[in-house]
Each structure stands twice: as C-alpha cells, then as structure tokens.
Amino acid sequence: MNSILQNLEDPNRPFLGPNYWIIKNMGLLLPKNLLAKILYIILHEIVAFFVITQYMELYVIRTDLDLVLTNMKISMLSVVCIVKVHSFIFWQKHWHDVLDYVTAADKFERQSDDPIKSRIVETYTRYCRRLTYFYWVLVFTTFLTTTGTPLMRYLSSSTFRQNMRNGTEPFPHIFSSWMPIDKYHSPGCWITVLWHTLLCAYGAAIMAAYDTCIVVIMVFFGGKLDLLRERCKQMFGPSTISDRQCEEVVQQLHGIHVMMLKYSRLFNSLLSPVMFFYMVMCSLMLCASAYQLTSAQNAAQKLLMAEYLIFGIAQLFVFCWHSNDVLIKNENMTSGPFESNWFLANYRQRKDVLTLSGQLCIKNIFTAGPFANLTLPTFINILKGAYSYYTLLRK
C-alpha cells in the first residue's frame, strides 16, 4: 500500500501530488492532447445526460413516495457532481492559476531552513495526505454501499425474494433512471446494472477528486496564514535592525499577504457558486435520507441508509470545518506583528509595523453564494433546516 501511495507523489508538486494526479486522470483538468480532451468532454456529457434520465424517471414514479425519495436522494447528489465537473472545466484557466500558485507558494515555504516553518509545512502536508486518503476510503465505502443496496435488499428479505419470483416486485436497480430497453427483465436488467455501476464509480471518483482538492487548498491557505504569522513574529529578529532592513521585511510580508488574498479570493469565486448549489441540494438530500432511515423495514436497509446519511453529513462538515479553520487562523494571524520585538524598534519602524498590521486585517471568507459564509454555524443551520424538512415530511 505504501508503494502504491508513493507512486501518487509528484516531485514537481510536493504538496498537491495525489490530488493533482486524481483531478488530472478524472478529466477535471483537461489534457493538452485534442483527442483526449474531446473524449473526456464526451464522457462528462454522457454522464450529464444520465442525470437527465434520472429526472425523466422521477416523473414516471411520482405516485410512489418511497421511490421518489430514493430517486431524489441520489439524483440531487448526481446534479451536484455534474455542476462540480462543468464548473471546473468552464473555469479551467482560473483553476490552473490557483493550483500553480499553491504549488509555487508551497515550494517557496519549503526552501526555509527555519525549524518552526519547516514543522508547519510538514504538519499541514501530512494532515492533507491523511485527510485525502481517509476521504477516498469514505467515498469508496459509499460507492460499495450504493451499488450493493439492491443486493442487500434482495438477500435480507425473504418476502422481497418471494415477491420477485411471483412478479409482484420489479427487479431492483442501483439508480432510478429511464432506459431505452426493458430494464426489469434479462438481458436488459443486467445491462442496466452494469451501466449504473460504471456511472456510480465515475461519480464517486469525481467526488473524491473535487472534494479533496478543495479541502487541501483550504488547509494550505490555513497553513500559509500560520507561516505568515511566524514570519511576522520574526520580522525584527533577536536584535534591532536598520530602517532599510525593516522596510524590506515589511514589503516582503505585505507582498506575501497581497498574493495570498488575490488567489484566495479567486479560489472563493470558483468555489462559492458550487457550494451554494450544494448546500441547497444537501438539505433536501439529508432530509430524504433521514426519512428513509426511519421508515426502513429491516436492519440491513437501515445500516445502508445510515452510511449514506453519514457520508452526506461528513462531506458537508469537511468543507465547513476547514473553511472555519481558515477564518480563525486569519484572525490569529493579525497578532503576528505584535508578537515580534517591535518594542525594540524606533519610531519609523513602528509606523511600518502599524501599516503592516492594517494590511493583515484584510481577510477573505470562503462563502456559499452571496447569502452564507462557509462556517460551522452555517453547517448547523443546514442540519436544522434538513431536520425541519424531515419533520414536515413525517407529518
């Protein structure tokens, strides 16, 4: 396993190695080869058409509440997946700019011989690797759960098996979608199973690629704030420095913060529309999952529904937690200049410190559309909203 994970590392991208590998192989970053680029775009559009067929089927099954909830629970997640893919492709140039900045800024920090800065870099790199691999495992588990739900339903219920034999229960499928063939009898039913499995694997891989890329970039901005705070603490060194040296240090710190603000705002402009759409869909998806969990008839179905519900909550929590962590580190970073030996500086140098502290007070908050910040209070409000929808549905 260590050998496999080591192959995902990229010496040119020491921080983003595994994340860059997966977004590139999943076609979120389109290759330069024209033929390969066209094939990736065709693949993405085929999956987008499949999502349309899910909503076509939703109209057909509109009279059965349980089937409607099952369809909506998955189709809403599918729509979010398609939005993530197309937003990444549409703003391809801007994503390249953000990824290149993260790589260049990370390499700049790795050149430092200071043990404190090196420890900060090592800490956020190791944390991102663990988070990435854990999230991949979570997504893979959800993929197995989703594809295995029909089989578990068949194996866990003798009544269901009997009803299938006498024709009162239709063949169970992974997704509820329209098909141009008879999907309830052989061979059409097995073609549909294979089709759904491939699409589920694609969706899981896209989720793993996009979500982990977003989260590790958030973690990087948090680590960059810690490094900037440490640089501010060391700006005067152990003894006094000349006015010229102070001016150069302040200019460097000012430049680092300006560049970080520029690319964090660019990153937020790419992320915010997707997060707004995702939060709306997530509220409805959590509501449908909770309703099906409480109405499930046997333990196997409850276990599968619970895992799907946990994945939805965990996915939302990961975004909100790390965005909130960046906000906290941003506030802590402003105290960096006043943790230095500023009291040893002369009047002119103290004016430079005040100017720098004013610049560091400018912060950027990751948002979910124009209405909400991506923070823990927002996460709690979404859970409250989903619970309200759930109680309304129960009544």
What's the confidence (pLDDT) of residue 42?
93
Of 196-205, 206-215, 293-302, the poorest mean pLDDT is in 293-302
Per-residue pLDDT at 224: 93
Range in 53-57, 183-187, 308-312 with the lowest mean pLDDT: 308-312
Q: Which of 86, 82, 139, 72 is nearest to 281 (CA)?
A: 72
The model's pLDDT over 378-392, given as tens digits with 9 standing for 90+, comes to 888 888 877 776 677
Residue 395 has pLDDT above 90, yes or no: no
**Residue 394: what residue type?**
R
* pLDDT tens digits along 97-146: 999 999 999 999 998 888 999 999 999 999 999 999 999 998 898 888 88
266 pLDDT tier (thresholds 50, 70, 90): very high
* CB-based burial, 263-294: b 16+ in 10 Å, e otherwise: bbebbbebbbbbbbbbbbbbbbbbbbbbbbbe
- Of 385, 359, 110, residue with least CA distance to 258: 359
The answer to pTM > 0.85 is yes
Tell me the average pLDDT across 290-314.
Answer: 72
- The pLDDT, as a whole number, for residue 164 is 79
pLDDT, one tens digit per residue, over 38-83 is 999 999 999 999 989 988 888 888 777 777 777 777 788 888 889 9
Measured distance CA(341)–CA(327) in Å, rounded? 26
At 77 the pLDDT is 81
List, for residues 243-262, the tens digit of each pLDDT value.
888 888 889 999 999 999 99
Q: List, in sequence order, every beta strand (DSSP E) within the chain.
A: 367-368, 372-373
Q: Where are the domains of the chain?
A: 2-29+88-154+210-394
What is the pLDDT confidence band of residue 212, given thresholds at 50, 70 and 90? Answer: very high
Q: Average pLDDT, whole number, for the chain?
A: 86
pLDDT-derived band at 268 (thresholds 50, 70, 90) equals very high
Which of the two residues, 363 and 253, has the higher pLDDT score? Answer: 253
User: Is pLDDT at 183 greater than 80 in this prediction?
Assistant: yes
Q: Which two tokens stand for residue 299?
A: 């333990």
Taking the CA atoms of residue 2, residue 6, residue 8 and residue 14 in that order, the dihedral angle to the nearest 10 degrees is 130
Q: What confidence score (pLDDT) does residue 386 get?
A: 76
**What percent of the chain stands above pLDDT 70?**
95
Q: Evaluate the CA torsion angle 102, 105, 110, 111 in order and state its sign.
A: positive
Instruction: Answer yes or no: is pLDDT of 233 > 80.
Output: yes
Torsion of CA 372, 378, 381, 385, to 10 degrees: 60
